[in-house]
């Protein structure tokens, strides 16, 4: 017994020294400053090579690694940061601005400006990504033939990603894309582009699980957040959207065989002057897709054209519409504590599929006005329940 009383604390002390030192030693990060690797902070000198070198070294490091981008403007062409890497703790700490080439053709024919592919444990924090998209938007609106444009920042087939306190400015196309990823946290991000910029979705998520988007401000020309097929366990909280096209699930049902969208929470969001508020949209054609277990909660609408919308006859500009019936099944969608003002008479619109009516739609404490009067609701092939004060009412 006596031996035990003495040896236990001793063993504990030895163990804690062992764990403490191993944690401290293994956590010692290596830092790669892009300027030390040849990048120039003048906004003109092509610094792409320095960024690629920094990534190659960080990725090959057995210890956690930091890529440091100091203040200043760094001219960057399109880059792919490829994994897998030897460590799963790479931090890209940006204090400056990454600037795309002013000639939109340099990036515009590729899919991405900055792509992280097959990485695990990457954090990107701070900084501004200035994609200089305005000249491409102008080309598109002139009716000339133009490249489709690049996504500013994409994570592809990657896990355990954090993006924080980053600003995406004037993307050519989508600002941030999360595609084929697990466990992604996007927080305190800002997205800025003009309200009439084409296809500049703020954050697009698809084929991904466990994505969290927090405390984000999005002003753009297309959806603030778009949620594509194969998205599950998505959490969106504390977002300010507008201008923009709102937060959209879809468009779904583009393909006959398509993964569904499941377990999406959108809470504490303010939409200001947007085309839509919370929307689910699908093409009118056969598909095995679905959207279910969706919660929209604590939403404020300020002068929004379509505050609450399910559109299963989605066809922008009414061009090349499939003109069939949507196969996408929509069920268990809850709207809780939604209030504010609509910019059109119809504030709640459920235009569901005749073949697959929307079911278990729940409206709880919804109050939307149009010109200081209760707005209107319109339901086609939609069933569900209302509880609490629901204005407009009488639609489900």
Ligand X SMILES: *[C@@H]1O[C@H](CO)[C@@H](O)[C@H](O)[C@H]1NC(C)=O
Q: Which is nearer to ligand X, 194 or 232 (CB)?
A: 232
Own/partner contacts of 382-387, CB < 8 Å, gap of 24 or more, are 382/310, 382/350, 382/352, 382/357, 382/358, 383/357, 383/358, 383/359, 384/333, 384/358, 384/359, 384/360, 385/360, 385/361, 386/362, 387/362, 387/363
Q: Which is nearer to ligand X, 334 or 341 (CB)?
A: 334
Q: Which is nearer to ligand X, 53 or 160 (CB)?
A: 160
Q: Which is nearer to ligand X, 265 or 272 (CB)?
A: 265
Smallest distance from ligand X to CB 222, Å: 24
Question: Which residues participate in catalysis according to the annotation?
Answer: 245
Smallest distance from ligand X to CB 43, Å: 39
What whole-number distance in Å separates Cα of residue 194 and Cα of residue 14? Answer: 60
What whole-number distance in Å separates Cα of residue 239 and Cα of residue 218? Answer: 8
List, as one string, the DSSP characters of 34-79: TTTTT--TEEEEE-HHHHHHHHHHHHH-SS-EEEEE-SSEEE---E
Q: Which is nearer to ligand X, 294 or 304 (CB)?
A: 294
Q: Which two tokens stand for residue 108?
A: 């515009």
Binding site for ligand X (CB under 6 A): 233-235, 263, 265
Q: Which two tokens stand for residue 140?
A: 């598109």
Smallest distance from ligand X to CB 326, Å: 25
β-pairing, 90-94 vs 120-125, is parallel
Q: Which two tokens stand for residue 103?
A: 């000639």
Cα 130 off chain centre by:
18
Q: Which is nearer to ligand X, 48 or 183 (CB)?
A: 183
Smallest distance from ligand X to CB 295, Å: 9
Smallest distance from ligand X to CB 211, Å: 8
Neighbours of 142 (CB within 10 A): 9
- Which value, in Å, is the radius of gyration of the alpha carbons in the chain? 24
Phi, psi of 207 (to 5 degrees): 45, 40
Q: How far is CA 107 from CA 40, 131, 151, 342, in A?
A: 20, 9, 9, 39
Q: Which is nearer to ligand X, 166 or 205 (CB)?
A: 205
Smallest distance from ligand X to CB 234, Å: 6
Smallest distance from ligand X to CB 60, Å: 34
List, as one string, the DSSP characters of 309-361: EEETT--GGG-S---S----EEEEEEEEEEEEEESSSEEEEEE--SSS-EEEE
């Amino acid at each position: 017994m006596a031996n035990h009383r003495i040896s236990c604390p001793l063993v504990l002390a030895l163990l804690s020294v062992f764990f403490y030192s191993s944690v401290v030693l293994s956590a010692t990060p290596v830092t790669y400053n892009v300027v030390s690797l040849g990048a120039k902070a003048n906004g003109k000198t092509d610094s792409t090579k320095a960024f690629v070198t920094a990534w190659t070294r960080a990725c090959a490091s057995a210890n956690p690694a930091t890529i440091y981008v100091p203040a200043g403007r760094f001219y960057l062409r399109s880059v792919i940061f490829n994994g897998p890497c030897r460590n799963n703790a790479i931090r890209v700490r940006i204090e400056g601005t990454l600037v795309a080439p002013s000639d939109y053709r340099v990036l515009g024919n590729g899919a991405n400006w900055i792509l992280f592919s097959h990485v695990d444990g990457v954090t990107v924090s701070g900084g501004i990504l200035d994609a200089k998209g305005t000249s491409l938007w102008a080309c598109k609106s002139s009716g000339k033939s133009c490249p489709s444009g690049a996504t500013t920042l994409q994570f592809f087939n990657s896990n355990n990603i954090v993006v924080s306190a980053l600003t995406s400015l004037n993307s050519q196309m989508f600002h941030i894309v999360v595609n084929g990823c697990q466990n992604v946290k996007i927080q305190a991000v800002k997205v800025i582009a003009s309200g009439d910029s084409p296809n500049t979705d703020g954050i697009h998520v698809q084929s991904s699980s466990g994505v969290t988007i927090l405390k984000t401000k999005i002003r753009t020309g297309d959806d603030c957040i778009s949620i594509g097929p194969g998205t599950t366990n998505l959490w969106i909280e504390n977002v300010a959207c507008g201008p923009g096209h709102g937060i959209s699930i879809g468009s779904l049902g583009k393909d006959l065989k398509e993964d569904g969208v499941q377990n999406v929470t959108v809470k504490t969001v303010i939409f200001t002057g947007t085309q839509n508020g919370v929307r689910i949209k699908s093409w009118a054609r056969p598909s095995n897709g679905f959207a279910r277990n969706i919660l929209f909660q604590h939403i404020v609408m300020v002068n929004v054209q379509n505050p609450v919308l399910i559109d299963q006859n989605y066809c922008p500009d009414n061009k090349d519409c499939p003109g069939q019936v949507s196969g996408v099944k929509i069920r268990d969608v809850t709207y809780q504590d939604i209030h504010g003002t609509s910019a059109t008479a119809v504030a709640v619109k459920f235009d569901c599929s005749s073949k697959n009516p929307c079911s278990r739609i729940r409206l709880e404490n919804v109050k939307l006005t149009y010109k200081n009067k209760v707005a209107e609701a319109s339901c086609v092939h939609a069933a569900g329940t209302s509880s609490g004060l629901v204005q407009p009412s009488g639609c489900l």
